Structure 1
Amino acid sequence: MTKDEVRAKWAVAKRMVQITQDEWDSHNVEAQAIKFVKAKLKIAIYYLSQLDEHDSNYTMPFTGNQMKKALKSPITKQNVKDAADWCHQCRLMRDKACTSWSYEEEKTA
């Protein structure tokens, strides 16, 4: 896939995980949990988009519906655990596939 095709494929997911200014400004437990979940999903999407850019075959560790469910309030411990697990799985897939790639790590936080 070209970079433009990858951007188009992941545009909706990236919008869903954008951390709002209110979430950044808030320091309550719920806001911190949603920031964590969104940050992990943002990183997972970055890894998946790298795989797409390099035309790698992979199996999605989560579905769109699972992602939507993980972002619903109130954020539970399971939502946090799922997002962290998916991020880790995506990184492992990327790391396994990237041995021959030439890329620069994007700053995600």
Structure 2
Amino acid sequence: MTKEKVKKKWASTRKLLEITDSEYNGVTQEAANLRFIKTKLQIAVYYLQMLDEHDSEYQVPWNKEQFKWALRKPVGDKKKQQAKEWCHQCRLMRDKACATWNYEEVKTA
């Protein structure tokens, strides 16, 4: 896939994962937990985008309902752990696929 197609594919997910000003400035434990979850999921989406750019086969480690659950309040340790695991799974998928990617630079005339 081209980078433009990949960006379009993941645009709505990235929008959901944007950290709002109120979340960023929040001083409660729940605000900190939500920032942590969104950050981990942003990283996971980045890895999945890389896989898409290289046309790699993969399976997203969450479904739509699990994803919504992770972002729903109240946000506690169980959701933090789940986001951390998803991020790790995505990194492992990227690392495994990365060995087969061709990184040759495009030659210009």
- TM > 0.5 between the two? yes
2:7 maps to which residue? 7
- Structure 2 alignment gaps of length 5 or more: 104-109
> What is the rounded CA distance, in whole Å, between the counterparts of 1:32 and 1:56 in structure 2?
34
- Give the structure-2-normalised TM-score: 0.89
**Aligned-residue identity in percent:** 49
Q: Distance in 1 between the 2:85 and 2:78 partners? A: 10
Which sections of structure 1, spanning at least 5 residues, go unmatched?
104-109
The aligned counterpart of 1:25 is 25
Which structure would you say has the larger Rg? 2
For each residue in 1:9-47, what CA deviation from the matched residue of structure 2 results, as whole angstroms up to 9, or x when unmatched? 101110011001111111210100000000000000000
Once the two structures are superposed, residues 47-97 of structure 1 have per-residue CA deviations (whole angstroms, 9 ceiling, x without a partner) of 001000000001111112211110000102211111000000000000111
Root-mean-square deviation (CA, aligned residues, Å) is 1.3
Query: Structure 2 vs 1, CA of residues 102 and 43 (structure 1 numbering), >3 Å: closer, same or farther?
Result: farther
TM-score (norm 1): 0.89
- Alignment partner, residue 75 of structure 1: 75
The aligned residue for residue 61 of structure 2 is: 61
